[in-house]
Amino acid sequence: MKSHKIVRSTLTLLIALLVLDGTIHAQSTENEPVAANIAEHLALDHQLDEIPEDIRLQFEQNPLQLPAAENSQLITAFKDAYNDSLLLHDFKSAFADSLTPELSGKLQDWLQRESTKRITDARQSFYTLDGKRNRVITMYEMEQEPPSQDRVALTQSLTDTTSVVESTVESSVIILRSMIEAVNQISTQRTFPDSQIDAIANNFRTQIQGQISRQYANQMLVLFHPVDSATIQDYIAFWGTETGQQLDQYISHSIRQAYEAASQRFMESVSTD
């Protein structure tokens, strides 16, 4: 009867695993609306596209001086792989997988607060057509009449409170690396050994670190221009809480997951071409 016990215990374990797996997927499915809500309210759907777009624009100018056809192939494959719908889908999936019911509930409550709504309205508006128009107006007017040091310090502390800079740097490195590796696949004239790719990536990381920190701080000055300082302080305080730190961690993780998935798609595309 020994074998019968082993089979039954194995079966029990398998069933337990199946149930557990099913629970996780059920939670993931339940969490997707929360993930979508977070992505929308924090305008992450727009932000996901920003880094790939920057890198695409630079490589569109063919800085490696590839033959036109090769560069065109590279850019087309990049655009397909880093498509914003796919990025958002992968982000939401990864984020949903991270959420627990308890955290979901806390985040929903946080989003409903009036002060949070003032922040999320500003974030969403930033990416609308009118928001883009107003960005130029705000940037120019801020150059003519710079904001107070207190205001600058406030938005700087927002930059320092989250991992957004580090996340952006690492995301940029992931995307750049994928571009260089793709060049290796496509180009008949240019090849980069792994050691050189590592060196380029590290050099790039060093170069952009300070730049991204400054850019983010400036962007926050513009984005939160219509928001009062008290609301921003409240927002900063949230990110210092356990809930805020978890949210920050899961957002960074999910963004990286989305870019890594895109990078994978990109490499698969150029490898089969």
Contact residues: another protein, CB under 8 A: 57-58, 60-63, 68, 129, 132-137, 139-141, 143
Q: Report how far residue 147's alpha carbon sits from residue 186's, in angstroms, rounded to the nearest whole number.
A: 48
Angle at 223 between CA 250 and CA 124, to 5 degrees: 60
Q: Do residues 108 and 37 make contact, with C-beta atoms less than 8 angstroms apart?
A: yes
Closer CB to another protein, residue 161 or residue 219?
Answer: 219
**Measured between alpha carbons, how far is residue 114 from residues 107, 234, 258 in Å?**
14, 11, 30
Closer CB to another protein, residue 86 or residue 142?
Answer: 142
Closer CB to another protein, residue 147 or residue 267?
Answer: 147
Q: Report how far residue 160's alpha carbon sits from residue 259's, in angstroms, rounded to the nearest whole number.
A: 23
Minimum distance of another protein from residue 141's CB (angstroms): 8
| Alpha-helix residue ranges (DSSP H) falling in the chain | 2-41, 44-60, 68-81, 84-98, 101-112, 114-126, 129-144, 149-161, 164-186, 194-223, 229-240, 242-272
Minimum distance of another protein from residue 135's CB (angstroms): 6
Minimum distance of another protein from residue 167's CB (angstroms): 21
Closer CB to another protein, residue 12 or residue 72?
Answer: 72
Closer CB to another protein, residue 47 or residue 104?
Answer: 47
| DSSP 8-class letter at 183 | H
Neighbours of 270 (CB within 10 A): 22
Minimum distance of another protein from residue 133's CB (angstroms): 5
Minimum distance of another protein from residue 171's CB (angstroms): 19
Residues 6+ apart with CB under 8 A from 55: 172, 175, 176, 179
Minimum distance of another protein from residue 145's CB (angstroms): 13
Closer CB to another protein, residue 112 or residue 140?
Answer: 140
